């Protein structure tokens, strides 16, 4: 009896000591976490790096904004005036941009080309991605990899054969030439992105629909596309942004000033030999970046979620 009581007592003491060590370890861990979450630690690990990143990212927009409202004498005399500040702001450059040039027409051309090319690219990418991911046939994965490798081909190589095709079809110097050539650089990446997002949708949903007698087109339009809205928005943002900022194709296929897009027009129309009208150039670049910034601002959450789903796959 005595030996049993002694053993029980030793066991109780051992369990008490073990719980005490666990509590002590939890207290040390909590104190360490409190240190990590302390204000000095946050300043070093969070606030300072974020501040540097924000300054680096926003500085080009700040520079465009102050250059667009600087008088001409302050644009050329950087040794006399502070280049990072404006002492006598003016709106002359913005007025000259909007009222003395067809800038609004250039914006309309850019918007029309970007919307049409994005729509065509998304439609083709949806069909291609769904066929690669869901339809069972030999070599589907190899086809998906080949489509993505096509995205790695630089546009500076493609515009030469594409220019011959554009001329033969009588599309030279028309916005239609850009609408039909931009998808060549948009479809590969959009297809790869949608492939990853379609893989995250459970296949059981389609099996149930097939058992109920639904066709592949009904499955795509009524099940897959509603569930893949974040992925579609993400691919649309990518395609729209690339169309809006594209330069090589727009410079090659368009020559008439009235048909040019914003990136090409502001460079070609505000540079006279070796004279750069920096005020109007920066004003045009700043106003031209506003639509893209608005698109990102409204759809950034969908963009991040779709990219996360694509990377997981």
| Cα Rg of the chain (Å, integer) | 29
Give the integer Cα–Cα distance in Å for 26 and 17: 14
Candidates 271, 279, 266, 269; CA nearest to 76 is 279
193 exposure class (CB count in 10 Å sphere: 0-12, 13-18, 19+): buried
Structure tokens at 48: 């300072």
Q: Report the distance separating Cα 262 and Cα 281, nearest Å.
A: 11
Class (C level, CATH) for 92-312? mainly alpha
**Cα–Cα distance, 36 to 254 (Å, whole number):** 57
Tens-place pLDDT, residues 142-169: 887 788 787 788 877 888 888 899 999 9
The number of angstroms, rounded, from the C-alpha of 203 to the middle of its chain's C-alpha atoms is 28
Task: Please enumerate in sequence order all residues whose Cβ is within 8 A of that of 36, keeping only pairs 6 or more positions apart, or say none.
Answer: none
Q: pLDDT (tens digit, 0 to 9) for every residue of the chain, 313 residues total?
A: 455 545 555 556 666 667 777 776 666 555 555 555 567 777 777 788 888 998 998 898 888 888 888 888 877 776 777 778 888 888 888 888 888 889 999 999 999 999 999 999 999 999 989 988 888 777 777 887 788 787 788 877 888 888 899 999 999 999 999 999 999 889 988 998 888 888 888 888 888 888 888 888 888 888 888 888 888 888 898 899 999 989 989 988 998 888 999 989 888 888 777 777 888 888 888 888 888 888 777 776 665 555 554 444 4
pTM: 0.76
Place of tokens 């079809």: 169
Q: What is the pLDDT of residue 12?
A: 61
């Amino acid at each position: 009896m005595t030996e049993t009581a002694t053993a029980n007592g030793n066991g109780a003491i051992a369990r008490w000591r073990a719980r005490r060590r666990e509590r002590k370890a939890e207290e040390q861990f909590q104190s360490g976490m409190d240190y990590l979450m302390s204000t000095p630690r946050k300043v070093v690990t969070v606030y300072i790096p974020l501040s540097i990143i924000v300054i680096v990212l926003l500085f080009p927009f700040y520079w465009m904004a102050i250059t667009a409202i600087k008088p001409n004498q302050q644009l050329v005399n950087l040794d006399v005036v502070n280049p990072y500040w404006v002492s006598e702001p003016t709106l002359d450059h913005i007025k000259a941009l909007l009222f003395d040039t067809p800038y609004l027409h250039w914006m309309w051309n850019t918007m029309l080309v970007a919307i049409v090319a994005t729509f065509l690219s998304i439609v083709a990418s949806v069909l291609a991605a769904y066929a690669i991911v869901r339809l069972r046939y030999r070599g589907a994965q190899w086809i998906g990899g080949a489509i993505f490798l096509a995205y790695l081909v630089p546009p500076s190589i493609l515009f030469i054969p594409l220019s011959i095709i554009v001329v033969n079809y009588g599309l030279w110097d028309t916005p239609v030439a850009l609408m039909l050539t931009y998808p060549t650089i948009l479809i590969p990446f959009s297809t790869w992105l949608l492939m990853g997002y379609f893989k995250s949708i459970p296949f059981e949903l389609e099996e149930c629909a097939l058992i109920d007698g639904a066709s592949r087109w009904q499955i795509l339009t009524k099940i897959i596309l509603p569930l893949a809205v974040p992925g579609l928005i993400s691919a649309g943002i990518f395609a729209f942004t690339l169309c809006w900022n594209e330069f090589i194709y727009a410079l090659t296929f368009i020559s008439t000033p009235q048909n040019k897009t914003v990136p090409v027009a502001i460079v070609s129309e505000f540079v006279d030999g070796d004279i750069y009208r920096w005020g109007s150039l920066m004003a045009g670049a700043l106003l031209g970046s506003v639509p893209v910034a608005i698109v990102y601002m409204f759809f950034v959450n969908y963009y991040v979620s779709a990219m996360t789903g694509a990377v997981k796959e």
